[in-house]
Structure 1
Amino acid sequence: MIISHNFFKRKQLNYRTARSRGQKIKIYQATSEKEQNLSMCAESLSVNPMAMERLRRAAEAGDIDELYNSIGEDADVLRLYDDAEFADTPLHVAAERGHADFAIAIMYLKPSFARKLNQGVFSPIHLALQQGHTSTVLRLLDVDKDLVRVKGKQGYTAFHYVVENENLELLAQFLKDCPACIEDVTIQKKTALHIAAENHRFEALEILVRWLERTHLYGKVSRKHLLNAKDTDGNTVLHIAASHIQPEMIRLLLDCKVDTKAVNSENLTALNVLKRQRDGVIEDKEICLKILRDTDGSAGLSALFNLKAKAEPVHEKFRSRIIFPEKVAIRALGPIMNMSVESMNALLVALALIMTAIYESLLSPPGGVWQGNDPNDTRVGNSVMDVNTFSNFFWSLFVLAIFTLSLTIAILQLATGSSAIAILAEVLAVLVTRSFYYAWWTIRPAHDIYVYSKDPDEAVLAIVLITLASMEASRWFFIISKRLYLNHRM
């Protein structure tokens, strides 16, 4: 798809205006005759034509000494390339020929050349990749790792190029050096995953999806949404794999829990696309059909929680009436969803302070505790409150604690979008509740008639289960409400 060019043999281009040494001048940007063009451009810029010719030959040969000699002969020798919108700079020439040292020397002098595109709409790193100069590519990235994201023809980056050609070594290195490069899309909104699927690059696709899974689990930023990203035709990677009848790719994507119900601009799912295919090996098509059908059939109870809107025109969604669950979700989550990050952090801090105050209140109940044995034979460390008052005090604190913990878990689920983080917080909350109960057991009045079990371990299990059920119910309520809210917002 991307081809190389000889960039010093170009057809004539029109000229434009520029400023050099405080005067308005004209720049002629390349004619079919190389020497004539360089001479005309040099004259218009008051640049020594011999210096430009020397620079061109130095770039072709990778001669760094000649580079500096050219600059010494004329200090403005690089200005022509810097002023042109699209130009074959000496960096382009050196990168295309694999002269890494010369390319780095130019980058130090003119960093802007590394991002400039030539008339073929390619950057220096594109040209080095096309010619197989891996060491030059890596040297360029050592200076500026974001060069892998420079977009050339059709919006292709260097990362797209290595995916298309399944250069696995460079693919892994690019992901390591510049993780954000996986988010770049072409002018058709194709991600690197689309490109891998279109070109039957299974190993490249496997690296991409496994890397996405790992960053989703361990990284600070999750990019797993790219698995379901759509191009301009509405096709996900699964649609592409299905249209090309690729059983291994389909298995791989389903293993990563991609959305099998996603539809493209023709309102077709991946299974529908596969059924329409008439080309390809029949056996592979049957295997793909079986894989997708089995996946649809095994959706099970998870479908009950899949509240995504059915595929319908946007104007129909705007016309539809808001149902009662949506009203509840909008009113319950609207203020929270519209909170800034700072406000949500402040709310979580406030909840943490409330929970701390609850625990402190239990450890230091009103009136304090007995410091010695009283006439009624009360044990040291027990609350001085009477049984009924202490019982009301404790259960009020317990209900408030459950509400605070449930709200905290729900907000964590809502803010992070990660069930793993919310469940981990639930585990910590259960441990806090358990210690809360044992603190109550220790400090309660000695003759508490409301203790139904003489063994605290039996009672604490019921308390923990009540707390856990409350937090899970709150978490799922917020998950379902968020989906309804986002469906309303579209």
Structure 2
Amino acid sequence: MERRLYDAAVQGNKISLLDLLGEDALLLDRFITGRYPETPLHVASMLGHLEFVHEVLARKPELAKEVDSHKSSPLHLATAKGYLQVAKSLLQVNPDMCLVCDIDGRNPLHIAAMKGHLDLLKELVQARPWAARVLMEQGETILHACVRCNQLEALKLLVGRVSDHEFLNCKNHEGNTILHLAIAAKQTEVINFLISSTTIDVKCVNEDGYTALDLLSQNQKDMTDKQIVESLRRIGATHAKESPLSSSQLKAIRTKILWDQTDPVPKLKKRKHGKRLVHSNKNADWLERKRNILMLVASLLAAMAFQAGVNPPSGVWQDNGVSGFSTTESNGKNHTAGLSVLADNNSDVYTIFLICNTTGFLASLSIILLLISGLPLRRRFFMWVLMVIIGLDWLNARTPPRTHDSTSFQIDQVPPKISDEIGEPDIPTP
């Protein structure tokens, strides 16, 4: 019976539909509870069978929100084919289907704009205007879709109905506004409309650092292009190198540069403009140079701190025994081989040395781990902080503790019987 119902939907045969429902009143319910690639309402909507659609919606309006294997609703299919009356019937039953996106991330308003079905687009915008602000794949808006498909009238309609300054200048994932796309595709009418009738930002820079004027200047081939350049100039358009970047633009460019670089050696990012080369942002190069210098200095300081830790000032005791020479505090005390001489002779100085040395060692290791972790350090402030830490470590390394008492001893404290232990030679009496 499902096969017969599909045939009736293809033909738009309302009488056959009624006969089948007379035989099985639950026939349409199976398409709601079961797993079918599409429903008879999808077929009838795609083919524009209005009476069949009315009859199905009158008996089972829930079928209007069912989606097929491509996540398309009957409203998607009716919109794609441009069946205005079918779409109106579906909207009356469930206008929220304007917000449902198919497998490609497009809702019925996106499809109507891309196809240029203006009457349908008006109905959909009137039913759910905020559906026009839903983003598609690659972060593109419905305005991007209009420009890509060269649908100027649909663009004018949407700019007048649902667009504001922020939405009009929205960027996709590549940082391109609709003006960038229009210039790249040489859509002269769209460009003239945008620069004459909207508040499009002609100075906006994309992810590659190009303004609209930069893109147009690369491929000036005819008089029309030159006229567009003049029009852009009149409303304040500039090349990217002529206008300073905003903080958000600088942040985006720096992030892209730092993540794209695979060689730790700073290098120039080259892009061909005829015979010219566009260099990477100077601030990013400065950060990369400082990163390499910090890595080198931090490694040296960590090695110095480690060496000082295993071989402290004044050395270590070479044997076990009684301290026969040192300060008064440690005089006559036992010492152990391998322990610091300074720790026994002047524990306060040794403690200060140990704290400073450990702090410098850990700080250097922390900076090394931070730099090799791949974390993008995009601000000069953070780099200055790391440089100050390195400077403090360097001062610790350059000012070892004074061990005035630990390295000096008085003559009377020298063990007196060294010669006795060695033994003096017997001199024969003549």
What is the one-letter code of the residue matched to 2:131? C
The separation in 1 between residues aligned to 2:225 and 2:215, in whole angstroms, is 11
The separation in 1 between residues aligned to 2:150 and 2:194, in whole angstroms, is 14
SS at match of 1:263: coil
Q: 1:236 aligns with which of 177, 186, 191?
A: 177
The separation in 2 between residues aligned to 1:257 and 1:131, in whole angstroms, is 33
1:57 aligned onto 2:7: yes
1:290 aligned onto 2:233: no
The separation in 2 between residues aligned to 1:144 and 1:107, in whole angstroms, is 10
1:81 aligned onto 2:21: no
Q: What is the TM-score of this pair, normalised by structure 2?
A: 0.52
Determine the structure 2 residue equivalent to 1:183: 133
The separation in 1 between residues aligned to 2:137 and 2:204, in whole angstroms, is 21
SS at match of 2:150: coil
SS at match of 1:151: coil
Matches within 5 A, 1:370-449: none
What is the one-letter code of the residue matched to 2:175? G
Determine the structure 1 residue equivalent to 2:368: none
The separation in 1 between residues aligned to 2:18 and 2:210, in whole angstroms, is 60
Determine the structure 2 residue equivalent to 1:115: 65
Matches within 5 A, 1:66-465: 66-84=16-34, 87-212=37-162, 223-254=164-195, 255-277=197-219, 282-296=222-236, 310=250, 312-314=253-255, 319-321=379-381
CA 109–320 in structure 1, closer or farther in 2 if over 3 Å, else same: farther
Instruction: Tell me, yes or no, if the aligned pair for 1:88 and 1:118 is still in contact at 8 Å.
Output: yes
CA 146–276 in structure 1, closer or farther in 2 if over 3 Å, else same: farther
Instruction: Tell me, yes or no, if the aligned pair for 1:160 and 1:195 is still in contact at 8 Å.
Output: yes
Report the Cα offset of residue 98 of structure 1: 1.5
CA 212–136 in structure 1, closer or farther in 2 if over 3 Å, else same: closer
SS at match of 1:296: coil
What is the one-letter code of the residue matched to 1:274? L
Report the Cα offset of residue 249 of structure 1: 2.1
CA 189–307 in structure 1, closer or farther in 2 if over 3 Å, else same: closer
The separation in 2 between residues aligned to 1:90 and 1:60, in whole angstroms, is 8
Instruction: Tell me, yes or no, if the aligned pair for 1:274 and 1:285 is still in contact at 8 Å.
Output: yes
Instruction: Tell me, yes or no, if the aligned pair for 1:242 and 1:288 is still in contact at 8 Å.
Output: no
Instruction: Tell me, yes or no, if the aligned pair for 1:148 and 1:181 is still in contact at 8 Å.
Output: yes
Q: What is the TM-score of this pair, normalised by structure 1?
A: 0.46
SS at match of 2:27: coil
Larger radius of gyration: 2
Report the Cα offset of residue 233 of structure 1: 1.9
Instruction: Tell me, yes or no, if the aligned pair for 1:86 and 1:116 is still in contact at 8 Å.
Output: no
The separation in 1 between residues aligned to 2:237 and 2:215, in whole angstroms, is 18
- Taking only the aligned residue pairs, the percentage that are identical comes to 29
Instruction: Tell me, yes or no, if the aligned pair for 2:64 and 2:93 is still in contact at 8 Å.
Output: no
CA offsets per residue over residues 12-31 of structure 1, 9 Å max, x none? xxxxxxxxxxxxxxxxxxxx
Instruction: Tell me, yes or no, if the aligned pair for 1:212 and 1:224 is still in contact at 8 Å.
Output: no
Report the Cα offset of residue 227 of structure 1: 0.5
Matches within 5 A, 1:465-476: none
What is the one-letter code of the residue matched to 2:379? R
Instruction: Tell me, yes or no, if the aligned pair for 2:79 and 2:120 is still in contact at 8 Å.
Output: no
Determine the structure 2 residue equivalent to 1:11: none
SS at match of 1:159: helix
What is the one-letter code of the residue matched to 2:48? G
Report the Cα offset of residue 112 of structure 1: 4.1
Instruction: Tell me, yes or no, if the aligned pair for 1:247 and 1:287 is still in contact at 8 Å.
Output: no
Structure 1 vs Structure 2 CA RMSD: 3.2
Gap runs ≥5 in structure 1:
1-50, 214-222, 323-490
CA 308–73 in structure 1, closer or farther in 2 if over 3 Å, else same: same
The separation in 1 between residues aligned to 2:249 and 2:139, in whole angstroms, is 23
Gap runs ≥5 in structure 2:
256-374, 383-430
The separation in 2 between residues aligned to 1:317 and 1:103, in whole angstroms, is 60
SS at match of 1:101: helix
Determine the structure 2 residue equivalent to 1:389: none
CA 319–210 in structure 1, closer or farther in 2 if over 3 Å, else same: same
The separation in 2 between residues aligned to 1:57 and 1:242, in whole angstroms, is 48
The separation in 2 between residues aligned to 1:108 and 1:189, in whole angstroms, is 38
SS at match of 2:139: coil
What is the one-letter code of the residue matched to 1:227? L
